[in-house]
Structure 1
Amino acid sequence: MPPVSTTLVADASPRAGSEFAPLLRAVREQGLLERRTGWYAAGTTVNLLTLAATIAGLLLVGDSWWGLLLALPLSVCWARTAFIGHDAGHAQITSGRRAGRVLGLVHANLLLGMSYGWWNDKHNRHHANPNHLDKDPDVGVGAMVWTQRQAEQRAGLARWLTRNQAWLFLPMLLLEGIALKVSGFQDLKRQSPRERAVEALLLLLHLVGYVTLLLTVFSPGRALVFALLHHALFGLHLGLAFAPNHKGMEMPDSQDDGWGHLRRQVLTSRNVRGGLLTDWFLGGLNYQIEHHLFPSMPRPNLRLAQPLVRAHCAAVGIPYTETSLFDSYHQAFSHMHEVGAPLRAAR
């Protein structure tokens, strides 16, 4: 792919129409929205081979506590699988909707046991209105809350969780791998009969296959320990990939619904600096601004689009937030701690 030029948007201004239109035009002219089928084919093949090798390792080690060590590489493979399913849901891999859905169902439902339909519905609503207090499901009231207004409504155990949520966030991520599966099964009732039949069948095939594998390798006790450790590491990995992206950034409400696409996505998102290792660990989500502006952009092109986006934001006067990985976690945890501050003061 030829080097990306940033000169195409240097003179962009809101007066020229939509603030986003000149950037979109520049990105298209650079070919950054074109599919990278070969890149995804190679990455998917490597991940599947690594997954198969890990399973073979489990079978070779057999019923031994040493087999628990393979929970770590298996959780990493599952995270790669989740990233591929995520990209399929955004139509980054294929131009055809049916092919993308098949890829998503195989990677999410069959290989991970989490519902592709549930994730896509929830994630698309997040992308449409990131960090919006009334419209983004990711900042709704749940085990954790994201504003002091939400915190004021907590009572009992939930109030205690909110007071201490910054400290409890990482331990709670250890439950996320299981929570993702539970949410997928709960969502089946929302789906159409045809969609429900396909998703439920694949979820059950995953569950039967996973349980059969572990009981073939381990005694029931060791199988349970492996499953809990594996899902804990998987949830932690995914949580650490998604946590830096929006926590502590702007949180619009109904009064800010006039924001255009550019401001809505850039002001609520945070990028994470780093090299190829950071790209790999975070699955490309470290280019969160570019990903939110262009959800269908193939993951390897996000890095190439960054100079264009940064230059355009500077030209139109919109802050472009980028920080280190550890500082992104610090900002996210600080925000969670600040949300619980009034409750700690009221004790």
Structure 2
Amino acid sequence: MGKGGNRSELQQTGDEVPSDLETISWDEVSKHNGLLTEDRSKWLVIDGQVYDITSWAMKHPGGRRLLSHYAGQDASEPFTAFHPDSQKVKKYLKALTVVGKVEQREARKDIESDFSKLRTTAQQMDLFKPKLTFYWIMAIHIILMDLFAYLNMLYFGVGWITFAVAAILASTAQVQAGWLQHDLGHLSVSKSRTVNRALHAMTMGCLKGASGNWWNHMHYQHHAKPNVMNKDPDVRLEALFVVGENMPKKIAEEGKSVMPYNHQHKYFFIIGPPLLFPVYFQFMTFYFCITRREWMDLFLMMTFYVRFFMWYIPLLGIFKAFLLFEVMRVCESIWFTWVAQSNHIPMNIEEDTGKPWLQLQLSATCNIVQSAFNDWFTGHLNFQIEHHLFPTMPRHNLHRIAPMARSLCKKHGIDYQLKTLSSALVDIVTSLEKSGKIWFDAYYSLRHDL
């Protein structure tokens, strides 16, 4: 094929690979990752066909970055994972230029085939079918906690006890609304994509005061390439923390370290969980809406703030109402951050090597033991492995696929980690301490050599 000349303009659906397409080597495909070729072209593979996504990446509903993360790679498995209606979505592939075809790599054939069979089994068991009763209960208990936080002070008066009760109830409602919007964002609550999207925007905006589109932009990248440096937004090369074994060395080599990372396991308690929501998220969600002109998201967000302060300013005054808001955000942030990071920070964090879907997700995720409390406390993210393998599966069904996922991992020699909640939380701190030590040794070793 060379550098992309004589491209076939055949418009295919992706179900079968036409025999008259020219075969392209995987080495050639890998060059078109948006960086190596002179024209910055981007190709990706879906079901054996090579597509040119250079222009389409800008139009992709999930965002340019999400699609570009798989440029030069096989995107067949994530394509299926992210699209519950994959046969319908495949029709949109007709708009793309088919460059050629590739042969399936033998080294990945067995593991990809077995994972495909597991997905088929899950479909046959109706594990992608949501239980609306479950989600109604989730929604009602969130609304009631939010309402009781207000009624508690309205009827019992304003005092430190009622203030504390309001803060606890409001914070809990925010966290649980976060788990609910997570389900909606993954299209797992309704069979209709449109209904999921609409309810997601409303839940994020009206119940949480945040942008649904901002969340999608960030979170889908995380799922596409979890714990992959410079692709997963959660493990970008940031200035405050270094994680894993490779990132600390990279930061040390750059010589631009501005934090005492060898103490990060200590200052994590101060500037990590407590400040993620009230500072970073609070700023970014507004910044995203304004710079991307997401006016509907901004409008929905404002309904939350108008409602919150109309409730509490008449009772508390302006200062105490803002204090309640900040206490709520800090408590929510601590809860969310510890839960979300317990499944990821202690795991492998590395450069992108184009691993098959099963290996990619298992290297970056672990599970927490099941219990009624853990299910509720984590929003069923104690089944993080299964959630990452099947991101559109309703969370109430994740425990049913877990034994089969574990068996598949055992067959292929893939580590399937299951921890207690307490050990998972402790592992966050120990992994930060380990990464900080790696940075310290690398940084001062380089300075000594100079």
- TM-score scaled by structure 2? 0.69
Is the contact made by 2:205 and 2:301 (CA closer than 8 Å) also made in structure 1?
yes
Q: 1:138 aligns with which of 219, 234, 243?
A: 234
SS of the residue corresponding to residue 393 of structure 2 reads coil
For 1:187, the equivalent position in structure 2 comes to 288
Paired residue for 2:400, among 292, 301, 304? 304
> Does structure 1 residue 92 correspond to structure 2 residue 188?
yes
Match of 1:67 among 159, 162, 173: 162
RMSD value, Cα: 2.1
1:166 matched residue in structure 2 = 265
Rounded Cα–Cα distance in structure 1 between residues aligned with 2:110 and 2:162: 62
Which of 411, 420, 434 is residue 338 of structure 1 equivalent to? 434
> Structure 1 residues 284 and 17, CA, compared in 2 at 3 Å: closer, same or farther?
closer
1:121 aligns with 2:209: no
Deviations 1:241-282 (A, max 9, x none): 20111112122313x21x111111112111011311011111
| Structure 2 CA distance for aligned equivalents of residues 50 and 344 of structure 1 | 46
**Greater relative contact order (CA < 8 Å, ≥ 6 in sequence):** 1
8 Å Cα contact 2:229/2:237 also seen in 1: no
Paired with 1:232 and 1:99, the residues of 2 have a C-alpha distance of 31
> Which of 141, 144, 151 is 1:49 aligned to?
144
Distance in 2 (alpha carbons) for counterparts of 1:249 and 1:342: 15
Question: Does the CA contact (< 8 Å) of 2:345 and 2:431 recur in 1?
Answer: yes
Q: Structure 1 CA distance, aligned partners of 2:109 and 2:156?
A: 62
Work out whether residues 209 and 301 of structure 2, in 8 Å CA contact, stay in contact via their aligned partners in 1: yes
CA distance in 2, matches of 1:291, 1:16: 18
> What residue is the counterpart of 1:295 in the other structure?
391
Q: Which amino acid aligns with 1:297?
A: M
Distance 1:39 1:343 in 2: 46
Q: Which moved more, 1:292-301 or 1:20-29?
A: 20-29
Cα distance in 2 between the residues matched to 1:224 and 1:154: 41
Q: Does 1:209 align with 2:307?
A: yes
Name which of 176, 197, 207 aligns with 2:276. 176
Q: Which residue is 2:178 aligned to?
A: 82
Distance in 2 separating the partners of 1:16 and 1:289: 16
Aligned residue for 1:267, secondary structure, equals helix
Q: Is 1:329 matched with 2:425?
A: yes
Give the match's secondary structure for 2:382. Answer: coil
Corresponding position of 2:125 = 30
Indicate whether 1:230 and 2:328 are aligned. Answer: yes
Contact persistence 1:27–1:33 (CA under 8 A) = yes
Gaps (5+ residues) in structure 2? 1-107
Q: Distance in 2 between matches of 1:289 and 1:100?
A: 23
Higher helix share: 1
Counterpart Cα distance in 1 of 2:415 and 2:388: 15
Q: Secondary structure at the match of 2:191?
A: coil
Amino acid at match of 1:145: V
Give the corresponding residue for 2:8: none
Structure 2 partner of 1:21? 116
Question: Would the aligned equivalents of 1:71 and 1:230 in 2 still touch at CA under 8 Å?
Answer: yes
Distance change (3 Å), C-alpha of 1:16 and 1:139: closer
CA distance in 1, matches of 2:346, 2:160: 41
Residue 35 of structure 1: CA displacement?
1.7
Structure 2 counterpart of 1:243, from 341, 365, 379? 341
Once the two structures are aligned, what percentage of the paired residues are identical?
A: 23
- Offset at 1:14? 5.0
The alignment of Structure 1 onto Structure 2 pairs a total of residues equal to: 328
> Matches of residues 310-321 of structure 1 in structure 2 within 5 Å?
310-321=406-417
**Structure 1 residue corresponding to 2:360, chosen from 255, 264, 268:** 264
Q: Would the alpha carbon gap of residues 342 and 319 (structure 1) be closer, same or farther in structure 2, given more than 3 Å must change?
A: closer
TM-score, normalised to structure 1, is 0.88
Contact map agreement 2:205 2:297 (CA 8 A) in 1:
yes
Q: 1:188 Cα deviation (Å)?
A: 1.4
Gaps of 5+ in 1: 1-12
Give, in whole Å, the separation in 2 of the partners of 1:65 and 1:39.
35
Superposed displacement of residue 154, structure 1: 6.5
Q: Measure the CA separation in 2 of the matches of 1:279 and 1:150.
A: 37
Counterpart CA distance in 2 for 1:40 and 1:17 is 32
Q: What is the alpha-carbon distance in structure 2 between the residues aligned to residue 150 and residue 88 of structure 1? A: 37
Q: How much has 1:183 moved relative to structure 2? A: 1.1
Instruction: Give the deviation of 1:184 after TM superposition.
Output: 0.4
Displacement after TM superposition at 1:212 (Å)? 2.5
- One-letter amino acid of the structure 2 residue matched with residue 81 of structure 1: A
Deviates further, 291-300 or 175-184: 175-184
Match in the other structure for 1:3: none
- Displacement of 1:207 in angstroms is 1.9
Secondary structure, in 3 states, of the residue corresponding to 2:408?
helix
Q: What SS does the aligned partner of 2:113 have?
A: coil
Tell me: CA distance 1:46–1:138, structure 2 relative to 1, closer, same or farther (3 Å): same
**Cα displacement string for residues 315-341 of structure 1 (whole angstroms, at most 9, x for unaligned residues):** 222111111111112222111111211
